[in-house]
């Protein structure tokens, strides 16, 4: 299939690369010429703008960092909405249900289908093609796109209305954010009490407290002290904020989510939005005066 791909960041680049390697023809665009060059070196065609992408292909995918950027790329000047050939816009970003609905409504006025298609699984999942791919849009379109989506992960049909995929993604990411924040607290507490972090990881993962942070993020990025998991604090804060806002708009009390939101608000302010999100552990470490690190052998 001929596919346009906009946004070649930490998540977008490996997804686009996998599509190329699977034999699909890609027209790519990113504000970073370096990222486009990495893909043109393996056979993609570089476009000059989002509109240029949409002039050349019927199916355009996008992986972008914020709701406002998605809105501009999809519906703004020189955006996808001005393309001559595009028939559907698949948004892999996390924007929240209200923005997904807004973008889809604007595109529909130009007879372009707006597909709400967030993904989850991190950079590792994008590289391995094991992402959870959450499709919200026409059912017949899901069946048609399933072979393409299967290249980047496991596709799930969430519902036929744009926004439903975003709600699913935000529920997932809130749980991930809560796991990282609370795991930071317990891992620091155990370490200060004299427990071996590696033993803590093994026990928790074998017990009822098992979660993604202790299973993957601590052994990979916190305990070695690298803090290089590949997802930004600012993006995690954005996802938590969007989820809390959606809960409020639906009239759902979320007091625990509120506490998680406050912790990520603090992390974003102290560490900066460009920090790796595993660095939230550093805040607890500093307060406690101890570091959760692997013991040198």
- What Rg do the C-alpha atoms of the chain give, in angstroms? 20
Q: Is 58 exposed, middle or buried (0-12, 13-18, 19+ CB in 10 A)?
A: middle
Q: How many beta carbons lie within 10 A of that of residue 148, not counting itself?
A: 18
| Catalytic (active-site) positions | 169
One DSSP character per residue, 35-76 reads: HHHHHHTTT-EE-SSHHHHHHH-SEEEE--SSHHHHHHHHHS
Long-range contacts of 72-79 (CB under 8 A, 24+ apart): 73/6, 73/7, 74/50, 74/103, 74/106, 74/107, 74/114, 75/103, 75/106, 75/107, 78/49, 78/50, 78/51, 79/50, 79/51, 79/54
């Amino acid at each position: 299939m001929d596919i346009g791909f906009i946004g070649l960041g930490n998540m977008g680049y490996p997804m686009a690369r996998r599509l190329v390697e699977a034999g699909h023809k890609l027209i790519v665009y990113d504000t970073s010429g370096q990222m486009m060059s990495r893909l043109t070196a393996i056979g993609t065609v570089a476009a000059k703008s989002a509109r240029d992408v949409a002039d050349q292909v019927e199916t355009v995918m996008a992986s972008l960092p914020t709701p406002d950027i998605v809105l501009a790329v999809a519906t703004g000047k020189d955006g996808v909405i001005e393309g001559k050939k595009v028939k559907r816009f698949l948004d892999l970003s996390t924007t929240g249900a209200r923005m997904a609905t807004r973008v889809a409504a604007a595109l529909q006025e130009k007879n372009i289908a707006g597909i709400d298609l967030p993904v989850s699984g991190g950079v590792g999942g994008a590289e391995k093609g094991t992402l959870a791919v959450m499709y919200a849009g026409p059912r017949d379109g899901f069946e048609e796109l399933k072979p393409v989506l299967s290249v980047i992960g496991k596709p799930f049909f969430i519902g036929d209305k744009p926004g439903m995929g975003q709600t699913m993604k935000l529920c997932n990411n809130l749980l991930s954010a809560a796991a990282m924040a609370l795991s930071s607290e317990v891992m620091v507490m155990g370490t200060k009490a004299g427990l071996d972090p590696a033993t803590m990881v093994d026990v928790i993962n074998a017990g009822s407290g098992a979660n993604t942070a202790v299973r993957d993020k601590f052994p990979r990025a916190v305990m070695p002290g690298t803090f290089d998991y590949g997802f930004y604090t600012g993006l995690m804060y954005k996802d938590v904020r969007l989820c809390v806002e959606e809960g409020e708009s639906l009239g759902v009390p979320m007091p625990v989510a509120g506490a998680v939101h406050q912790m990520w608000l603090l992390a974003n302010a102290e560490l900066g939005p460009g920090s790796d999100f595993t660095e939230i552990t550093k805040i607890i470490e500093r307060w406690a005066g101890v570091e959760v690190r692997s013991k040198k052998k």
